[in-house]
A and B are shown apart, each in its own frame.
Chain A
Amino acid sequence: MLSKTSPHITGSNSVGKVMVTLLLTMIPGFACLVYFFSWGYLVNLILASATALAVEAAILKTRKRPVLFFLKDSSALVTAALLACALPPLAPWWLTVTGAAIAVIFGKQLFGGLGQNPFNPAMVAYALLLVSLPVFMTTRWANVDQPSSLLESLQIIFNLSASGIDGITGATPLDSYKQNIARLTSADLLVAPLFNGQWPIGWAQVNIAFLIGGLVMLWRRIITWHIPVSLLATLAVMALLFSHDADAKVPVLIHLLSGSTMLAAFFIATDPVSAATSNKGKLYYGAGIGLLIYLIRTWGNYPDATAFAVLLMNFAAPLIDHYTRPRVYGHTNAVKGYKSDD
């Protein structure tokens, strides 16, 4: 009668299963990205996945870890998928490859692999590329009204077209609203097809698709509600407080339905490794990201804010964990500072 060590009762979710479910729930949002914007997203996904898997295998080999065991948990694929959603779809191929390699090497393996990384690997790579190569990261977006075909995307990404495209600038609703609100009224601005009332074509669909994917994750208990709810609520409250005048600042609906809001709330901020741990901590953590997203979007110079907001709160996660330790069963809460009967 040999008995294993505890825990004896385990859930049915293994790491690999969680990661695969997460990838599946990303499909609707990703499909919307490809349908409304560009096939480039799919090309990026393939490039990033191949690079991430190859680099992960190479580093596991040099670290003398079991290669197949760690590759099978698909965490490298999740990083690649998040990165492919975040990078400009028509970025040159080497940008995507560099980004995926940076994510796996600097974001993950140098810290000791899955479960040891203090920062979200995909966001590390995105921020590093945005700081290092600002031109390529801001001029290779696709337009909603004229999605490029698969062939065109391939030509641009691998620099094969004879004409030699220097840059494609697709205006994002967030950025465009911020730039133009100084000279136009909100009503004038919102009739443009980019905004379509307050439901920007493409952007709104992508965000709603990611929202649906996130709800499926909640239902499958891959994530808990704390981080997305507190993130979205804080962002909405900030927008209601400071952007109540739509003629001055970006209104709340565009904050929620454009940019990478839903992707950030459900798929990026909920990374269990780099987020805060306890339920109370998760609330603070999500609220911090929501707050930072609003601050950077409104008063910063970058078109969107997810990567920096998430990375900054990754820094804060250990501190949040320290101050939000849950009460241990059978113990009362520790009294901090002077005790009254001293």
Chain B
Amino acid sequence: MSTQASTLIKNGLWSNNAALVQILGLCPMLAVTGTVVNALGLGLATMVVLVGSNVAVSLIRNYVSEAIRLPAFVMIIASFTTCAELLMQAYTYELYQVLGIFIPLIVTNCTILGRADAFARKNPLIPSIIDGLAMSAGFLVVLVLLGAIREVIGQGTLFTNMHLIFGDMARSWEIEVFKNYPNFLFAVLPPGAFVGLGFLIAAKNFIDDRNAKKKAAMKTDEPAVSRRVRVTGNVG
């Protein structure tokens, strides 16, 4: 059980990361990662929906026939998305207005339907919850990272408007990284998100490559057996 859980967490956060490896959920990722607060808001909403849908799909997995499973999953996801939307409307209304259409569009996020169909419908409740948490956490981390990069390059600030999520005490969290920074619109617009995501994927592949090389180097350090080649018939 615990090894399975650690594999699930490792998959979700790194080796099968929804954003960097599966490259799913591109639409919200490119559209709302302009600032950290937008990315965090959408990431949390996605987390709520993904964990909820994984739980529900896992519970009903023995009662839904193959033929109608996809419509059923989409209905479940849509219900959870509506819940998340209403919750945001109630508690973080300003953020709800900023994110706009991208909250209802969580329904179409392929990561969620993908996890429901590929994992939750074949696994019991607990692993499904862990998988949902790990997958959405991996997605959330990439969203926030991309949001931070684009916010610094685009506006020269970090953690601006965090009070939209954390209330008034977060107003002082804003960091002005560069003074008198002229806004660099390219990073704020979607093309900047494409380039930023490209660099994040490249960084992940670079780290993976280096680790693989290290592993390979460790292996060759084992004591070598004699590699002398017999060249005559009488070496002794």
Residues of A within 8 A of B (CB): 106, 128, 131-136
Assess whether B173 is interfacial by the CB under 8 Å rule: no
Q: How far is the CA of A131 from the CA of B195 in the complex (A)?
A: 15
Q: Are A133 and B195 in contact (CB under 8 A)?
A: no
B141 at interface, CB cutoff 8 A: no
Taking A132-B186, A134-B185, A136-B182 as known contacts, 12 extra A-B pairs with beta carbons closer than 8 A to each other, sorted by chain A number, are A106-B195, A128-B186, A131-B185, A131-B186, A131-B189, A132-B184, A132-B185, A132-B187, A133-B182, A133-B184, A133-B185, A135-B182
Chain B residues with CB under 8 A of A131: 185-186, 189
CB neighbours (8 Å) of B189 from chain A are 131
Q: Which residue among A131, A132, A135 has the maximum number of chain B CB atoms within 10 Å of its CB?
A: A132
Q: What is the distance, in angstroms, from B139's C-beta to the closest C-beta of chain A?
A: 25
Contact partners of A132 in chain B: CB under 8 A: 184-187
Chain A nearest CB from B183 CB (Å) reads 8
| B residues adjacent to A (C-beta < 8 A) | 182, 184-187, 189, 195
Closest residue to B198 on the A side, CB-wise?
A: A110
Some 14 contacts from A to B, beta carbons below 8 A apart, are A106-B195, A128-B186, A131-B185, A131-B186, A131-B189, A132-B184, A132-B185, A132-B187, A133-B182, A133-B184, A133-B185, A134-B185, A135-B182, A136-B182
Q: Pick the most buried of B186, B189, B195: most chain A CB atoms within 10 A of its CB.
A: B186
A76 to chain B, nearest CB (A): 21
Measured CA separation A141–B77 after assembly (Å): 55
B182 contacts across to A, CB distance below 8 A: 133, 135-136
Q: How far is the CA of A132 from the CA of B195 in the complex (A)?
A: 14
Which B residues are CB-close (under 8 A) to A136?
182
Report the bound CA distance from A135 to B182 in whole Å. 9
Q: Which 5 A-B pairs have the closest CB atoms?
A: A132-B186, A132-B185, A132-B184, A128-B186, A131-B186
Closest to A92 in B: B182
Closest to A135 in B: B182
Residue of A nearest to B192 (CB): A132
- CA of A136 to CA of B184, assembled, Å: 11
- Residue among B184, B187, B189 with most chain A CB within 10 A: B184
Q: Would you give the shortest CB distance from A163 to chain B, in whole angstroms? A: 18
B219: min CB distance to chain A, Å: 24
Q: How far is the CA of A131 from the CA of B186 in the complex (A)?
A: 7
Q: Measured between alpha carbons, how far is A135 from B185 in the docked complex, in Å?
A: 11
User: In the complex, which residue of chain A has the Cβ closest to the Cβ of B189?
Assistant: A131
Contact partners of B185 in chain A: CB under 8 A? 131-134
Residues of A within 8 A of B184 (CB): 132-133
Contacts of B186 in A (CB 8 A): 128, 131-132
Determine the residue in chain A with the shortest Cβ distance to B185. Answer: A132
CB distance from B186 to the nearest CB of A (A): 4
CA distance A6 to B184 in the complex (A): 49
Give chain A nearest CB distance to B29 CB in angstroms.
20
A312 CB → nearest B CB, Å: 15
Contacts of A133 in B (CB 8 A): 182, 184-185
CB of A302, distance to nearest CB on chain B (Å): 15
Cα–Cα, bound, A106→B185 (Å): 16
Interchain CA distance A106-B187 in the complex, whole Å: 13
What is the minimal beta-carbon distance from A315 to any residue of chain B, in angstroms? 14
Which residues of chain A are within 8 angstroms of B195 by Cβ–Cβ distance? 106
Residues of chain A with a CB closer than 8 A to B187's CB: 132
Q: How far is the CA of A133 from the CA of B185 in the complex (A)?
A: 7
Across-interface contacts of A134 in B (CB, < 8 A)? 185
Shortest distance from the beta carbon of A138 to any chain B beta carbon, whole Å: 13
